[in-house]
Amino acid sequence: MTYKITKPDKKLNGTVYLTASKSESNRVLLVQALSTQRFRTTNLADSHDTQILAEILKNELASEHSRALKKLNVEVNYHTGAGGTTIRFLTAFFAAREGTRILSGTTRMNERPIKPLVDALIKLGAKITYLGAKGCPPIKIKGAKLKGGDIEMESSVSSQFITALLLIAPTLENGLNIHLKGKIVSSSYIRMTLKVMEHFGVKFKWENNVISVPHQEYQGWDYHIESDWSAASYWYEMTALAEEAELKIKGLKKKSIQGDSVIADLFRFFGVNTEFVNDGVCLTKTNYRPDNLGFDFSDYPDIAQTVAVTASALKIPIQINGLHTLRLKETDRIQALKVELEKIGVSANEIKEASLEITFPESKNRTESGLEFETHNDHRMAMSFASLALICPEIKIKNSSVVKKSYPDFWKDMKNLGFVIKADHH
């Protein structure tokens, strides 16, 4: 469905009760499934990806169901949706668990790479075959008791492969020593994984390019999941683009395990002040405005689109580097940004591999009413472009339901702040 969005007729003011972190939730769900001890998880994300993962694990861990499958030696098919973490975490989980499963995703997910993870698991003794294009889902996994040991892992494609191995590492007889090869992308997500594991009593060492996790038990300690800093980035963007703004965002922590908490510092350059209070943050505007900017998003790829659109709307020339993983996400995010920013007269040029330069040709400035933006089946495209309603009289966002992947209440939260959002039936 296409949504027509117009801005509030007053100051952007109010409170946002933010969704919980999808990244953190999915890691904790895996720990819960791998642990022999029970513990309570509070504030689990309501994202579509997390709900799918939770349902598959719940189904799998139902003891009678699981025993029956092993006895009958039947294949179980699981559709994992569009989530990269969902299918990659489950691949490692099922590789080390008896039984045969087939994992498939959406059309786009079945084009995204999984080969580095599959190769590593096969070297550890797993039996995995491709059912479609080699290197991508769908895959068939015949689970076995993996012993662990030493493994080399290509670290320049996706940190999710490394996280998937780390999560099962404590349960392997010999633990796991992961030797990382190449430039490490999204290292903040690897650090998040290790912090989650550490909460559950897991000991590890990360020296140079080797992460070592001995065989040990996950402890059954209760866990409260933080609100999602990636989702918070869209409210930072709205604060930056609004003429006047005062927003309170609940549930964010100053000492966060999420790498995307860097937005509190980044958005100072877009005139947004962050004040940490007991139960979240207060956002207000400042007059700060730089002549130009440059950021590297190697560690924070999920907020690159938010920053690109914010800079474009404020007409601040910016060079955005470290976009190595963006072509392999829900869509080719580099290409999608170039196409959609062109609609507001912004030039986004790829000046070198994984770098975009955003400039503003005089002849192309466009902020007229009715501009229509494609989401390219990407939740982050939908949410980062929604804020343009603050600089255009009216915008349209196509395929608006994609936000459910990470932030199902996004449109409701916008309405609560006074945005007028209507379905466009034309």
Catalytic residue ranges: 302
Bridge partners (DSSP) of residue 358 are 318, 348
The four Cα atoms 179, 183, 189, 192 give a dihedral, to 10 degrees, of: 50
In 10 A of CB 277, how many CB atoms? 12
Whether 236 and 255 have beta carbons less than 8 Å apart is answered as: no
The tokens for 119 are 């190769």
Q: What is the largest CA-CA distance in the chain?
A: 70
Backbone torsion region of residue 202, taken as left when φ is above 0, otherwise alpha when ψ lies between -120 and 50, otherwise beta = beta
β-strands 41-42, 223-224 pairing: parallel
Question: How many Cβ atoms from other residues are within 10 Å of residue 113's Cβ?
Answer: 17
Q: How many CA atoms lie within 13 A of 359 on its CB side?
A: 7
CA distance 335 to 63: 46
- Lateral strand order in the sheet of 176-181: 149-154, 176-181, 210-213, 205-207
98: helix, strand or coil: coil
Kindly list the strands in the beta sheet with 139-143, ordered across the sheet, starting from the edge strand earlier in the chain: 75-79, 99-104, 139-143, 127-130
